Amino acid sequence: MTHQLLPTLPHTHSLVEQIERKIDQLITPNAKKELPIIQTNLNAKQPYSLSIAIICMQDHASSISDFLNHVIRLNLIPGREFTPISTQHYPFSRQTLSSKPLLFAHYEFLIGDNHDLDLIHVYLPFLKQTLHLGLMHPNYAKNLGKTELLFPEQRNQRIHHYLANVVQRYPKTNDILFPAVGTLMTAASEMFFRHRTPKDLSRIFASMTWMKHLIIDKRAHPEDNIEICTRFLSINLNYTFGSDLVLGVVVAVSHLDEYQLLNERCIMQSILRYIPDAIAVNGSYIHVHQSHEAPHLYYIEIKRKQAKRVNLNERSLLKENLSQSIKASIEDVIPAAFVMNNEEEIMKNILTLRQELISIEDPPQVIISFENHTTSHITFSVTLVRILEQDHVSLNEAFRELSEEWEYLPERKRIVSQEHDDFTKEAHVFHLRYRKSLTSNSDENSLNLHRSRQAVVNLLTEHLGPIRDYTGGVIVQQNAIFEQLKTRYSPLIQSHPGLIESFFYQLHPTDMVVVLPFEEIAQFFESITQVIDTSTQETNGYTVYQKESEQMLKTVVRIPNNMKEFLQKRLSQLEIDHVQILTTLFHHRGVTFFGVMAHAKMSQRRFLIQEKIQELLRACIHEEQNSQVLNICTYVIPPSLDPRISLHDANSLIF
């Protein structure tokens, strides 16, 4: 093989003249509009051969040469590498074509037999299309190498072929389509690709990309409510002994906060409201979420349990209602209020409980700590210290007859009594895990942490007899207040599911919740609802509602979501001598609320509190803006890859 890079080699005047003649033959009167120029000549007479001639811009000579070599060698026949017998790369300039430097590339191939000739004849149009897209759109060339390594070459060629048709129809989609497709491909399993045609795969990936940028356009401000868009595709699944037509569902969610959860179970729960016998196609679920601020993308395929397919009426019903149904199915996960942090804390709890055992009559002492919450189970850690008697059964024996909903997971056991003790004290650390459905709220979308904890207490009492819940006193009182709130404001559970939980579980300091009269907490909550349900005054990017009485000041602020972390750091600045202050800072359906209730009999102190709140908000806005400037300075990325890029020209895409 000869590889020639001209005119760097000496004594090549005759060869240069030959190349110049080839260039002149390629250039037509309309060549300026046709760049890049790609010409192929397939010789079907023996000896079989193929020549490829290209004229393109030479913005980055080395990268373009590498791209051409890579694509031509590996895509002439997908899955095989063809080595040319001759390669020429010749930089030149022609003002009639372009004021920029140009590159002429020429490749010669010998073809071995009729079989290879037939394959090249089939794949040559794909190769020309890939070359054209790569030379026109640098991002396509950049992402081609990443995506084609993931899957078999022939299928990859066809996926890119269909996506390339979209790009040719809507050129502005290239900069967002191909980078996103690489990410979506890695999120799907090999089985997902095995049963779907390249055309359907392309429709799925293009639809998910389009929905992502559509939801970004709809969410103009970070503090907006959660936006959800859906799209439906008819997908044909191909199996060894037949095929099956299913409905593909694309869901784009603008954002979820740290205490919100949406997964396959939630989406299927929403679909079942309209198609009761729908089931998810095994292995069809995809969830893509690249960063905290990025939208969530979901894909799932459904079919009927019976042989019937999803009809047009059911599809229309999903199109009209599924977005709102999914929005109502987003789960509010209560943060860990009783998390056991480390080994030191475990030992501290054991020593504390050991000191509580004074008499042989004392019941086992227990500290219950919330550990984690998954889509299906809740787990609590339990530290238990008891007086060991001869007739005591082991914990393994006591929990042997648990129902199927419960699981006992022992961690450690040790004797913790001291020499002067009259009896033996035994400490246990173990975990209790059970199904979430046992303690889900009536709205089925959030976890009632106190009710879950009480279920653990009931189980321990049932299997071990009377116990003393060391940390349960205040929790019981808090739970009683919470239940009072839910009873009084039960209509709100339907219109604002999860609002009471979000408000109550973020009240700080928690001991004030037990000390304050219930009516004051109720009035504080009503202030929150007024901000949600009424239009209020807007000041400096946040919404303020204030209500003042002779002894109390209540302030509720609706703030941008990205201010929450800055506000949490500065809450201590609100502390004022001789003033009781209760705060809450929470997300509800994509909106962040900050509430302050302060007891202050003197008007001067109430005014001071107002000034402190305004100063706090201004400081947070300033810090958040500085952070944005820093992010812009450090986030170096080509403008065409900006995820906020508009896709208005592609809003009419039909796949």
For residue range 199-229, list pLDDT tens digits in order: 888 888 888 888 888 887 766 554 557 889 9
* H or E segment and range at residue 352: helix 343-356
**Average pLDDT of the segment spanning 252-271:** 85
Pick from 333, 364, 383: which residue ends a domain? Answer: 333
Q: Quickly count helices (H) and strands (E) in the chain.
A: 21, 23
Residues 6+ apart with CB under 8 A from 571: 508, 583, 585
Same structural domain for residues 243 and 299? yes
Q: pTM value?
A: 0.45
Q: Is the pLDDT of residue 28 over 50?
A: yes
Q: Which residue, chain included where needed, has tokens 């999903």?
A: 318
Q: What pLDDT, on the 0 to 100 scale, is given for residue 176?
A: 57
Q: How does DSSP assign 154-192, residue by residue?
A: HHHHHHHHHHHHHHHHSGGGHHHHHHHHHHHHHHS-HHH
Q: What pLDDT, on the 0 to 100 scale, is given for residue 144?
A: 59
More confident residue, 516 or 293: 516
* Residue at 20 is within a domain: yes
Q: Which residue, chain included where needed, has tokens 């293009």?
A: 206
* Residue at 587 is within a domain: yes
Same structural domain for residues 473 and 524? no
Strands of 374-421 (E only): list them.
Answer: 377-388, 406-415
**Average pLDDT of the segment spanning 607-611:** 75
Nearest to 46 by CA among 110, 123, 122: 110
DSSP 648: G
Binned at pLDDT 50, 70 and 90, residue 638 comes out as: very low
Residue 479 to residue 67: CA distance in whole angstroms: 65
Q: Is the pLDDT of residue 644 over 60?
A: no
Same structural domain for residues 399 and 484? yes
Q: Degrees (nearest 5) of the Cα angle 160, 164, 168? A: 175
Residue 287 to residue 530: CA distance in whole angstroms: 36
Q: Is the pLDDT of residue 443 over 50?
A: no
Residues 215/259, Cβ–Cβ less than 8 Å: no
* Residue at 646 is within a domain: no
Residues 6+ apart with CB under 8 A from 232: 247, 248, 249, 250, 315, 318, 319
Q: Is the pLDDT of residue 528 over 60?
A: yes
* Residue at 166 is within a domain: no
Residue 348 to residue 154: CA distance in whole angstroms: 63
Residue 248 to residue 623: CA distance in whole angstroms: 44
The CA distances from residue 46 to 1, 43, 111, 134, 542, in Å, are 20, 8, 9, 32, 77
Q: What is the pLDDT of residues 534-566, one digit of tens each?
A: 644 444 456 677 776 666 777 788 777 666 666
* Residue at 400 is within a domain: yes
Q: What is the pLDDT of residues 174-202, one digit of tens each?
A: 555 665 666 666 667 777 878 888 888 88
State how far Cα 632 lies from the chain centre.
22
Residues 81/73, Cβ–Cβ less than 8 Å: yes
Q: What pLDDT, on the 0 to 100 scale, is given for residue 444?
A: 43
Domain count, the chain: 4
Same structural domain for residues 271 and 358? no
Give the long-range contacts of residues 407-412, CB within 8 A, separation 24 or more: 407/432, 407/433, 407/434, 408/432, 409/433
Same structural domain for residues 326 and 200? yes
Q: Is the pLDDT of residue 602 over 80?
A: no
Residue 143 to residue 181: CA distance in whole angstroms: 9
Same structural domain for residues 13 and 102? yes
Tell me if residue 13 falls in helix, strand or coil: helix
The structure tokens listed for 310 are 């999803």
The structure tokens listed for 254 are 């603008």
Binned at pLDDT 50, 70 and 90, residue 82 comes out as: confident
Same structural domain for residues 415 and 382? yes
Same structural domain for residues 360 and 437? yes
Same structural domain for residues 314 and 350? no
* Residue at 142 is within a domain: no
Q: Which CATH number belongs to the domain containing residue 557 in this structure?
A: 3.30.70
Q: What is the pLDDT of residues 491-508, one digit of tens each?
A: 877 777 778 888 887 888
Residue 228 to residue 278: CA distance in whole angstroms: 21
The structure tokens listed for 215 are 């939801």
Residue 527 to residue 529: CA distance in whole angstroms: 5
Same structural domain for residues 119 and 218? no
Q: Which residue, chain included where needed, has tokens 């760049």?
A: 35
* Residue at 328 is within a domain: yes
Nearest to 3 by CA among 92, 129, 107, 110: 107
* Amino acid present at 609: I
Nearest to 542 by CA among 597, 603, 622, 598: 622
Q: What is the 3-state secondary structure (H, E, C) of 475-543?
A: HHHHHHHHHHHHHHCHHHHHHCCCHHHHHHCCEECHHHHHHCCHHHHHHHHHHHHHHHHCCCEEECCEE
Q: List the single range of 328-342, 573-587, 639-653 with lowest mean pLDDT.
A: 639-653
The alpha-carbon radius of gyration of the chain (Å, integer) is: 34
Label residue 465 left, alpha or beta by phi (over 0 means left) and psi (-120 to 50 means alpha).
left
Same structural domain for residues 180 and 313? yes
State how far Cα 467 lies from the chain centre.
42
Same structural domain for residues 95 and 180? no
| Strand-pair partners of 57 | 102
Q: What range defines the domain where residue 349 resides? A: 343-488
Pick from 311, 333, 355: which residue ends a domain? Answer: 333
Residue 432 to residue 368: CA distance in whole angstroms: 10
Residue 58 to residue 437: CA distance in whole angstroms: 63
* Residue at 159 is within a domain: no
Q: Is the pLDDT of residue 9 over 50?
A: no
State how far Cα 597 lies from the chain centre.
35
Angle between helices 174-187 and 138-148 in degrees, nearest 10: 10
Task: Indicate the burial class of 525 (C-beta count within 10 angstroms; 0-12, 13-18, 19 or more).
Answer: buried
Residue 229 to residue 252: CA distance in whole angstroms: 5
